[in-house]
Amino acid sequence: MPFVTIDGQALHYLDQGTGPAVLLAGSYLWDQAMWAPQIAALSQQYRVIALDLWGHGQSGPLPASTTSLDDIAHQAMALLDHLDIERVTLVGLSVGGMWGVRLALSAEERLNGLVLMDTYVGVEPEPTRQYYFSLFKQIEDSGTISPALLDIVVPIFFRPGIDPQSALYQDFRGKLAALSPERLRESIVPMGRITFGRDDLLPRLGELDAASTLVMCGDQDKPRPPSEARDMAQLIGCPCVLVPEAGHISNLENPGFVTQTLLAFLADRS
């Protein structure tokens, strides 16, 4: 899979299939492999691009100049320019939706459609922000995500009833445990602070094109509950779809439902 140098660092991405372009933007702490079920299905009809966030997967460290989600959006636009992609449907989950909205607001002429999954573009509630920042401090100080912290962090991403011995759960836990001190301190912690220290974009959601926007959310998402998804959909004026039996990484907990919903949405855009 290829790389492109943006802001002095190597951004890793997947580019698979032909047809109208779809950009998959994933969650904090996950790499582009989280989209495997959707890539397999969508790339039969579409050109699917999926990137690794800085410090995630095979991408290089967070560029020194990157201080906001707007910077991430501009870097994603640079990737699209590099690939000569004029228009794209952006599917953003969690932080992917947070910077995806910024891309949409800054360059609406480049989007055929926008799907916001398990995300929230309002400011992080202050108690949650302080709690996450305290976790970042622990990780930064120790240079590791300790077993005790893994017990806190990993369940956040899944529905409450998931089997903790399942491959999905254990694979994610193993990837976090294996992160090097350098990667954690240079990229993962700063990216977390950027994500959860974001500014409020709720007042601008009405600027999005409601007819080409969809909000989705796992019906058991804990960090980004359905109430937030409904609020955003109401502000945009677009549909809100709840993914049954799914938590924050809804596309992996109920991949069939999510894939079919995306295929239906894309068919209307093409």
Q: Is residue 224 part of a domain?
A: yes
Q: Is residue 191 part of a domain?
A: no
| Count of structural domains, the chain | 1
Full domain range(s) for residue 46: 3-124+200-269
Residue 26 has pLDDT above 80, yes or no: yes
Please, are residues 75 and 194 in contact by the beta-carbon 8 Å criterion? no
Report residue 128 as tokens.
């949650």
Residue where the block lists tokens 């109208």: 20
Q: Is residue 78 part of a domain?
A: yes
Residue where the block lists tokens 């401090």: 137
Give Cβ neighbours of residue 242 (< 8 Å, ≥ 6 apart): 216, 217, 218, 219, 226, 229
Q: Is residue 149 part of a domain?
A: no
65 pLDDT band, cuts 50/70/90, is: very high
Question: In angstroms, rounded to a whole number, what is the distance separating the alpha carbons of residues 100 and 115?
Answer: 9
The alpha helices in the chain, defined as continuous H runs, are 36-42, 69-82, 95-106, 126-142, 147-156, 167-177, 181-183, 189-196, 226-236, 250-253, 255-269
Residue 1 has pLDDT above 80, yes or no: no
Residue 34 has pLDDT above 90, yes or no: yes
Residues 229-267 pLDDT 10s: 999 999 999 999 999 999 999 999 999 999 999 999 999
41 pLDDT band, cuts 50/70/90, is: very high
Helix and strand totals (H; E) in the chain: 11, 8
Give Cβ neighbours of residue 87 (< 8 Å, ≥ 6 apart): 20, 21, 109, 110, 111, 112
Question: What is the predicted pLDDT for the residue at 267?
Answer: 97
Report the pLDDT averaged over residues 92-117.
Answer: 98
Question: What is the predicted pLDDT for the residue at 84?
Answer: 98
Residue 270 has pLDDT above 90, yes or no: no
Please, are residues 269 and 23 in contact by the beta-carbon 8 Å criterion? no
Q: Is residue 76 part of a domain?
A: yes
Question: What is the predicted pLDDT for the residue at 269?
Answer: 82
Distance (Å) of CA 205 to CA 101, 104, 120, 200, 215: 8, 10, 11, 10, 12
Report the pLDDT averaged over residues 194-217.
Answer: 98
Burial class from Cβ neighbours inside 10 Å (0-12, 13-18, 19+) for residue 171 reads exposed
Question: What is the predicted pLDDT for the residue at 185?
Answer: 98
Q: Is residue 186 part of a domain?
A: no
Phi-psi region of 6 (alpha: psi -120 to 50; beta: other; left: phi over 0): beta
Q: Is residue 251 part of a domain?
A: yes
Phi-psi region of 118 (alpha: psi -120 to 50; beta: other; left: phi over 0): left
Specify the CATH number for the domain of residue 217.
Answer: 3.40.50.1820
Q: Is residue 168 part of a domain?
A: no
